[in-house]
Chains A and B, each alone.
Chain A
């Protein structure tokens, strides 16, 4: 699991990572400059037409919610870039890493700013792909590859459902613009398709935001280098699902299905994940599970409709992004300095790494929800929000409090013990303080948690009020963020949480042992995933064996049967059978040619000799050419004859290696004959039906009159080919070239005898030395 970095040159940071850092900080400044306008209730839109025919435009929307996310992404992004530049310094693929991470950040910004469902989906998938590349950055390890693929599969499968949901939603509402959808909430909620839309969209957001039972990919995604975990799997990408639910909150929320789905999934994920977080001994894994807990909490609160709950949602979103990114970066510092992330052995690092320890303490205190940190305000609001629920569903309040107690304990384990606890082992390297650029991020993020906790009014007017307005509308006011609400139930619950958390922290070692015992005896989702993949592969192998027989005639039979069923079925369903045409005026040469051609076809089917079959097939071809001559199309006839000749040559060459006819047992010719007769009859019927419609001769007469005066040619076929329709011809000859090159490559690739001397290009072999001599002289 260790990141593939820590080369001895890691003290020298390059400049390559500073480019994206500057870019994201510039973006941050640009977004921050919009703060006053958004706080004043302004909403900005920016539209480019993309596919106007389908109602798809590249439109962007900047309101309180998207601005909050944009600031978090660009701000945390800037610090992560700075951090990564030092953390991965000397890594041979640092540039690639920075490129992936920059691509991810831009995709994520596009996602939170997009105002069009389809554009949003494109950005959504871009984050999936870049995240796949980032998780699999250490692709040399089996675990890295597996984790990346797992994340891709789970989120990708969800995204397919999401796309279907978006399309349904767009068609139902008649628009793909999210800002227009917000106004249609009431009609949509009453619509018959509401439930399918909701299920499909929820499937997408739950997989992306790792809600139970799709949670298992997120802890595995920690195979990525630590800056990736800090950026993607705490602050941004996993929150994309939460963002989308919040974005569609005005459109879809408020129904019973919405409430129960989000509340149950969120509460269960939060509790389940925080229990598992306590079980982890790897600091990064512990943080991964607390991220799951945070995502569950956010989902839980999106299920609610009270103003307290939504204010709590927005505040906790900001709180969590700040402290979680800081803690991940701190764990990266520990890993970088000591080469270990093991909570069991690490201890006493505070003396050697005082600044890291301070940053960790700031972040952890916010995470534990102690006053006067922003985390405390967030937790108070969450408690107030859950208490606003009906008394019958207090079980959710219990789940929330329990998971907060566990979070308190995990905060101590991650950020207190490694620095101030007693060491139980010796890390691989002696600890030293992290370099400056790796400290900037955690210190600023940690300090922000304290600053915003002390002075919450700025955050309130700048972000929380506009974001709450994005969800609940302009009429509902957000609740006030303050450290002191007076003595009330949330405050009492906070006190109880802290007391229970301290108790749990002190007894976490035996508790962990019990959890490990329990965890080993319950089925693991991760193993279930492996079994699922194995089953899928077995299914694929089975159906491939069944369908892909490797016998050419079976493939042809399947193809022709499909064509037969499709065409004949359509004609049957539409009752489009043609009349028998009047053939009384057919001339005797034509009838003779037809009989001649038919005889060739019958002979081809009946003979048991390949040579005879080939010759009989040639008869068919020549018969067709004769038909062209009778109807005075000499060019087509000549081409047909020449192609027939070439086919004979090609088949003759191939014949030398083919086995005799029908040597592999079963005679399938009755089946083939039936198929051939059926298809032939159907195609004849189609042609007759086409001929029944009056022929439009406008094009023909145009070519007849224009060929000589405009194109100076009397051979209309050729004039069409090289002049009137030259672009088409160009496309065709391009296809011919591609086909020839592919056939050549295929023939060469399957060459059976590599030890035979090369027989081709003798001219080249002579030419090469002479050219070399010339250049020498």
Chain B
């Protein structure tokens, strides 16, 4: 699509969408959001970019082939699941670490659950982009 308004607008919009998707990913455990929704929003950003400036540019901006992102996400999710076994629990049991925890605050919660969610994010993000990019290129 050759529209200068869309192209200029997309540059900012895509960035904001990516940022927003990360926000949705991180807040997902307590508020609406999570890896699935985050991945969908993030891919929307790149799809918009591809519509405005062409798939080649979108691919260049992404640097990595989307299929690789999806497969890497699957691997990360698997590792997060296996990590539980290292701590002696059943597979895919969440492992938690609360940094700077005090009596009334839990501090900064870090967990394998978050890593698993990041894996989900990457899978959704990569899978959608590989289909959409391929469709736009082939059709």
Task: Give A contacts to B, CB under 8 Å.
Answer: 634-635, 638-639, 642-643, 645-646, 649-650, 653-654, 656-657, 711-715, 717-719, 721-723, 726-727, 729-730, 733-734, 736-737, 739-741, 743-744, 747-748, 750-752, 759-764
How distant is the Cα of A72 from the Cα of B31 in the complex, in angstroms? 74
Asked if B103 CB lies within 8 Å of chain A CBs, one says no
- The interface residues of chain A lying within 8 Å CB-to-CB of B117 are 718, 722
**Interface CB pairs A-B, < 8 A, 24:** A642-B41, A646-B44, A646-B128, A653-B136, A657-B139, A711-B94, A712-B109, A713-B30, A715-B34, A717-B34, A721-B36, A722-B35, A723-B94, A726-B116, A737-B123, A740-B126, A741-B130, A743-B130, A747-B131, A759-B56, A761-B59, A762-B56, A763-B60, A763-B63
Knowing A642-B41, A654-B139, A737-B71 are in contact, say whether A761-B65 is a contact too (CB < 8 A).
yes
Asked if B88 CB lies within 8 Å of chain A CBs, one says no
Knowing A653-B139, A747-B135 are in contact, say whether A736-B28 is a contact too (CB < 8 A).
no
User: What is the distance, in angstroms, from A750's C-beta to the closest C-beta of chain B?
Assistant: 7
Asked if B14 CB lies within 8 Å of chain A CBs, one says no
- The interface residues of chain B lying within 8 Å CB-to-CB of A645 are 44
- The interface residues of chain A lying within 8 Å CB-to-CB of B92 are 726-727, 730
Pairs of residues from A and B, 10 with the lowest C-beta to C-beta distance, nearest first: A740-B127, A726-B92, A642-B40, A634-B32, A718-B34, A713-B29, A714-B30, A733-B123, A747-B134, A747-B138
The reply to whether A653 and B132 form a contact with Cβ atoms under 8 Å apart is: yes
Asked if B51 CB lies within 8 Å of chain A CBs, one says yes
- The interface residues of chain A lying within 8 Å CB-to-CB of B47 are 646, 649
12 additional A-B residue pairs with CB within 8 Å, beyond A649-B47, A747-B135: A634-B32, A635-B32, A639-B37, A642-B37, A653-B139, A713-B30, A715-B31, A718-B28, A740-B66, A747-B137, A751-B138, A762-B56
The reply to whether A744 and B30 form a contact with Cβ atoms under 8 Å apart is: no
Knowing A712-B106, A721-B34 are in contact, say whether A733-B139 is a contact too (CB < 8 A).
no
The reply to whether B109 and A734 form a contact with Cβ atoms under 8 Å apart is: no
Knowing A650-B132, A721-B36, A729-B120 are in contact, say whether A744-B67 is a contact too (CB < 8 A).
yes
What residue of chain A has the Cβ atom nearest to residue B119's Cβ?
A733
How distant is the Cα of A763 from the Cα of B94 in the complex, in angstroms? 37
Contact of B91 among A638, A727, A739, A741 (CB under 8 A): A727
Interface residues on B, range: 35 or more
Asked if B7 CB lies within 8 Å of chain A CBs, one says no
Asked if B19 CB lies within 8 Å of chain A CBs, one says no
Asked if B43 CB lies within 8 Å of chain A CBs, one says yes
The reply to whether A762 and B60 form a contact with Cβ atoms under 8 Å apart is: yes
- The interface residues of chain A lying within 8 Å CB-to-CB of B139 are 653-654, 656-657
How distant is the Cα of A727 from the Cα of B82 in the complex, in angstroms? 11
Asked if B12 CB lies within 8 Å of chain A CBs, one says no
User: What is the distance, in angstroms, from B85's C-beta to the closest C-beta of chain A?
Assistant: 12
How distant is the Cα of A764 from the Cα of B55 in the complex, in angstroms? 15
- The interface residues of chain A lying within 8 Å CB-to-CB of B66 are 740
- The interface residues of chain A lying within 8 Å CB-to-CB of B137 are 747, 759-760
- The interface residues of chain A lying within 8 Å CB-to-CB of B65 are 761, 764
Query: What's the dominant secondary structure at chain B's contact region?
Result: helix
Knowing A649-B47, A730-B78, A743-B131 are in contact, say whether A748-B32 is a contact too (CB < 8 A).
no
Task: Give B contacts to A, CB under 8 Å.
Answer: 28-37, 40-41, 43-44, 47, 51, 55-56, 59-60, 63, 65-67, 70-71, 73-74, 77-78, 81, 91-92, 94, 96, 106, 109, 111, 113, 116-117, 119-120, 123-124, 126-128, 130-139
Knowing A712-B109, A730-B92, A759-B137 are in contact, say whether A642-B119 is a contact too (CB < 8 A).
no
What residue of chain A has the Cβ atom nearest to residue B134's Cβ?
A747
User: What is the distance, in angstroms, from B69's C-beta to the closest C-beta of chain A?
Assistant: 10
Name the residue in A645, A739, A747 with the highest tally of chain B Cβ atoms < 10 Å from its Cβ: A747
- The interface residues of chain A lying within 8 Å CB-to-CB of B56 are 759-760, 762
- The interface residues of chain A lying within 8 Å CB-to-CB of B40 are 639, 642-643, 646
- The interface residues of chain B lying within 8 Å CB-to-CB of A743 are 130-131, 134
User: What is the distance, in angstroms, from A656's C-beta to the closest C-beta of chain B?
Assistant: 7
The reply to whether B55 and A759 form a contact with Cβ atoms under 8 Å apart is: yes
What residue of chain B has the Cβ atom nearest to residue A656's Cβ?
B139
The reply to whether A733 and B136 form a contact with Cβ atoms under 8 Å apart is: no
The reply to whether B135 and A654 form a contact with Cβ atoms under 8 Å apart is: yes
User: What is the distance, in angstroms, from B78's C-beta to the closest C-beta of chain A?
Assistant: 7
The reply to whether A736 and B31 form a contact with Cβ atoms under 8 Å apart is: no
User: What is the distance, in angstroms, from A757's C-beta to the closest C-beta of chain B?
Assistant: 11
The reply to whether B120 and A744 form a contact with Cβ atoms under 8 Å apart is: no
The reply to whether B67 and A741 form a contact with Cβ atoms under 8 Å apart is: yes
The reply to whether A642 and B59 form a contact with Cβ atoms under 8 Å apart is: no
The reply to whether A744 and B36 form a contact with Cβ atoms under 8 Å apart is: no
- The interface residues of chain A lying within 8 Å CB-to-CB of B136 are 653
The reply to whether A744 and B134 form a contact with Cβ atoms under 8 Å apart is: yes
The reply to whether B70 and A740 form a contact with Cβ atoms under 8 Å apart is: yes
Name the residue in A650, A718, A721, A739 with the highest tally of chain B Cβ atoms < 10 Å from its Cβ: A718
How distant is the Cα of A643 from the Cα of B37 in the complex, in angstroms? 9
The reply to whether A722 and B113 form a contact with Cβ atoms under 8 Å apart is: yes
How distant is the Cα of A635 from the Cα of B40 in the complex, in angstroms? 12
What residue of chain A has the Cβ atom nearest to residue B121's Cβ?
A733
The reply to whether B130 and A762 form a contact with Cβ atoms under 8 Å apart is: no
What residue of chain B has the Cβ atom nearest to residue A743's Cβ?
B131
User: What is the distance, in angstroms, from A747's C-beta to the closest C-beta of chain B?
Assistant: 4
What residue of chain A has the Cβ atom nearest to residue B74's Cβ?
A737
How distant is the Cα of A718 from the Cα of B32 in the complex, in angstroms? 8
How distant is the Cα of A744 from the Cα of B133 in the complex, in angstroms? 9
How distant is the Cα of A106 from the Cα of B94 in the complex, in angstroms? 47
- The interface residues of chain A lying within 8 Å CB-to-CB of B70 are 736-737, 740-741
The reply to whether A638 and B32 form a contact with Cβ atoms under 8 Å apart is: yes
How distant is the Cα of A721 from the Cα of B25 in the complex, in angstroms? 13
How distant is the Cα of A208 from the Cα of B43 in the complex, in angstroms? 58
- The interface residues of chain A lying within 8 Å CB-to-CB of B43 are 646
